[in-house]
Structure 1
Amino acid sequence: MNITGIYATPGYSGFFFDDQRAIKQGAEHDGFTYVGEPVTDGFDEIRQAGESIIVDIELEDGTVVRGDCAAVQYSGAGGRDPLFKAEEYAPVIEGPVADALVGRDATEFLDNAETLEEMAVEGDRLHTAIRYGVSQALLAAAAEAEKTTQTDVMADALGTEPATEPVPVFGQSGDDRYNNTEKMFVKGVPVLPHALINSVEKIGENGETLLEYVEWLTERSQELGPEGYDPRFHIDVYGMIGEIFGAPYDREEVVDYFAALEEAAAPYPIQIEGPMDVGNREDQIAAMVELRDGLEAAGVDVDIVADEWCNTFEDVQAFVDAGAADLVQIKTPDLGGIHRSGQAVRYCEGTDTRAYLGGTCNETETSARACAHVALATNAAQTLAKPGMGFDEGYMIVENEMRRTIARRKREQQTTDADTDEITADD
């Protein structure tokens, strides 16, 4: 079944674009917004409305499927593509992108996605958000044309066997790190709470505020969690441990702080995302390796998670090859085509680095559902609840999409088995 049309409609995303550099430099909150001038190119305000592009692909039987172009909350930071402006990029989708893809066989997902991935307009590679959203629509088109799930299409493209149980979902609290986390405890969320520790105020001048919070996590999880609840704590510190302690990261003072985090979290495992941000990929990898070696030598069992400067597929390869992290966040909008996220998860197979299929609160329900299929197809270590910062909505979307898909695949397998048994009996 061929693709007959591709259409782009500017829309909103599930959160906001934030100028991370301005926030790290001390921009103060003014209610929900921030006071001060932006410092990252493209921003008009430190916090501004998130944007998306709704991509509709029309098939020759009249069916229309969707994908959503979206970019991360902290666009333009940490080596990422610039701020994504929907009105600017919509004509690119309806122009050069449509010209390249209309008329192609929708069932050829991988070929179509790779064609998109390799495209350039006026010598420039397509923005990651365009590749991300259009490839989602291509995945949906292939599933529709083949009358199967997006999980199966992705698994066929990657050569994997899909998970038969939901991948553990990672809930993010946003700044409401107490109320939203209590919601997660009640629902038994397996990985939590993110916590958004992106300032000295939130971590404490000596890290004491974060330690107190982790102690609260341990106590409150036991009070509110369901019977047998065994959570994994995952805290994103946005480089703030590096800000308050500084290099070298294998020295006693730093290692002792991680040991204190481990003790505060016990008996539950804890992982720390983005412990430092040193400004470029090479030095970030070196700093992460230094920290990881220091923790291992001291017998401190805290996992560290790569985020800053780990954006593209090539970045993921570099972090994994160097053994720089226990987990790498595969930040789906930053990798471009959604199949590239699946390939990045697969790259972690056979290494001592686990794959966290992440993304951003600033996506949409459509992109979140597409990523749920990538998580199932690759059996990632964990996947992010998204979009938004309210927790409940994103968790519902991602968890339910996985459960729905698993149930459908089981029904279809039972039907296939029954048909096979009937044919065997007739013979």
Structure 2
Amino acid sequence: MIATVPTVKDVILAPGNGSFFYDDQAAIRAGVASDGFRYIGTPLTPGFTTIRMPSRSLGIGLVLSDGAIVWGDMMSVQYSGAGGRDSLFQIDAIEAFTRSVIIPRLLTVNVSRFVEACGHVLAYHRGKRLPLAIEYGVSQALLSAAAHVARTTLAEVICSEFCLPLPVRPVPIYAQSGDAREINVDKMILKSVDVLPHGLINSREKFGPSGERFREFVKWVAKRIKEIGEPGYHPILHFDVYGWIGLEIGMEAEKIADFVCRVADDVPGYRLHIECPADFGSTDTQLDAYADIVSLLDSRGSNARIVVDEHCNTLDDIRVFAEARAAHLIQIKMPDVGSIADTARGVLACKEEGIGAYVGGSCTETDLSARAAVNVAVATQADMILAKPGMGVDEGISIVGNEQNRLLSILTYRRSQSFIQSV
């Protein structure tokens, strides 16, 4: 008797919350004042009604014919509408689009074949790509459905679909501090996080005149690691400066490379990642300028590495930046990439070109999307993964770290059982 593959019998939606807030990057960069946790002033990015807004999510549940319900979460990133990204997540509009366009497609799909299902359900509508938040959440649900049918983990589905070996190594975890820098850096060090601290250097006040305040913070992090870290603990130092090297030092590649080299010299012996040293305004200009910065750093033998984020959003962008060697490390910001299948393709494209692949995302995500991200990162053996969601450090490290440990334990068990059966 041939087993029947479960189909999608129905679809349910569940409005929810993201784990942080949406922030108007343009207004913050312009120097608006803060009042406690709020920012005061007029928003500059379309869609924002205030400069800081609570993030939202929309869960999509696939009711399968065998009675199981599998889920994915749709949401956007903290700095929506900036750096070439989709506009702010509007839950009512996303729900309406999902009901009219996506649900009818889901009711006709074979959920046992993940990549094929994504191709069918996430196909263009009226000549346009779907909102990336929909791609992201729906692909999570389809991945869960395929894993349910196969009775495997999400990671094993990715490995099967992309002809990858079952992974054995954990992916280094990268934690982000938010504005509570000093306390959260201490937490990261005490928990021996692999990569830290992000730093949220997103304003002139935090970067300082000529970057001096930022340089002092970098040196303080290195000093703090030695003071309170476990013996032998030696993490990668990764700082996101939101374009402020370019804004404060100048937009010339040589000036930016000079500054990055000085920061690297401040913390000898550490691998230094600088994310978004400058924002050149478009994918094409970012591509050319970052390729120049990378070339300059490489020619000088610097220990610093450039990480691209803004204007490198989609799978096509990732491929172009990797081929041009316009970064040492590419952040694959999952809600901006869209389909989880494209995140897997993005990691593999980076590996093919010898470029680092960082499976990132946003503090605005959910526990569900974070766990799905772990499975993709481990399956493709990315170079690092963001501890998400939220800005509390502990929660993201717990969700991502525990999911990874559970996953690797399952895969170890699977291998042991296969060995026993083969003897």
**Fold shared by both chains (TM-score > 0.5):** yes
TM-score normalised by the chain length of structure 1 = 0.95
Partners of 2:242 and 2:277 within 8 A in 1: yes
Is 1:86 paired with 2:88?
no
**1:363-414 CA distances to partner (integer Å, 9 max, x unpaired)?**
0000000000000110000000000000110111011111101101111222
Contact 1:233–1:265 (CA under 8 A) maintained in structure 2: no
Instruction: Give the structure 1 partner of residue 195 of structure 2.
Output: 191
Q: After the TM superposition, which residues 105-184 of structure 1 pair with which residues of structure 2 at under 5 Å, given as runs?
A: 105-120=110-125, 122-184=126-188
Q: Counterpart in 1 of 2:109?
A: 104
Query: C-alpha separation between the residues in 1 aligned to 2:207 and 2:312?
Result: 23
Deviation at 1:296, TM superposition (A): 2.5
- Answer whether contact 1:250 1:295 (CA < 8 A) is retained: no
1:1-400 superposed matches below 5 A: 1-120=6-125, 122-251=126-255, 254-400=256-402
Contact 2:173 2:386 in 1 (8 A): yes
How far apart are the structure 1 equivalents of 2:60 and 2:214? 41
| 2:403 counterpart residue number | 401
Residue 109 of structure 2 contacts residue 120 of structure 2 at CA under 8 Å; is this kept in 1?
no
Q: Secondary structure at the match of 2:365?
A: coil
- 1:147 and 1:392 map into 2 onto residues whose CA distance is 31
- TM-score under structure 2 normalisation? 0.96
In structure 2, the CA distance between the partners of 1:123 and 1:293, relative to structure 1 (3 Å rule), is closer
Q: Which runs of 4+ in 1 moved over 3 A?
A: none
Asked whether the equivalents of residues 169 and 383 of structure 1 are also in contact (C-alpha less than 8 Å), the reply is yes
Whether the 8 Å contact between 1:8 and 1:91 is mirrored in structure 2 is no
Identical positions, percent? 40
d(CA) in 2 for partners of 1:161 and 1:333? 26
Answer whether contact 1:8 1:94 (CA < 8 A) is retained.
no
Give yes or no for contact 1:10–1:87 (8 Å, CA) kept in 2.
no
**CA separation in 2, counterparts of 1:123 and 1:68?**
25
Root mean square deviation, CA, Å: 1.3
Gaps of 5+ in 1: 422-427
Structure 1's 36 and 163: CA in aligned 2 closer, same or farther, altered over 3 A?
Answer: same
SS at match of 1:348: helix
What is the one-letter code of the residue matched to 1:245? I
Shift in Å at residue 106 of structure 1?
Answer: 1.7
Q: For 1:93-119, what per-residue CA distance to the aligned partner results, in whole angstroms no more than 9, with x for missing partners?
A: 233211011142221111111112313
Structure 2 unaligned residues grouped into runs of 5+: 1-5
Deviation at 1:123, TM superposition (A): 4.6
Residue 425 of structure 1 corresponds to none
Question: Which stretch of the first structure deviates more once superposed, 386-395 or 153-162?
Answer: 153-162
C-alpha distance after superposition, 1:310-366 (max 9, x if no partner): 000111111111111000000100111111001000001132311011011110000
Whether contact under 8 Å (1:206, 1:244) holds in the other structure is yes
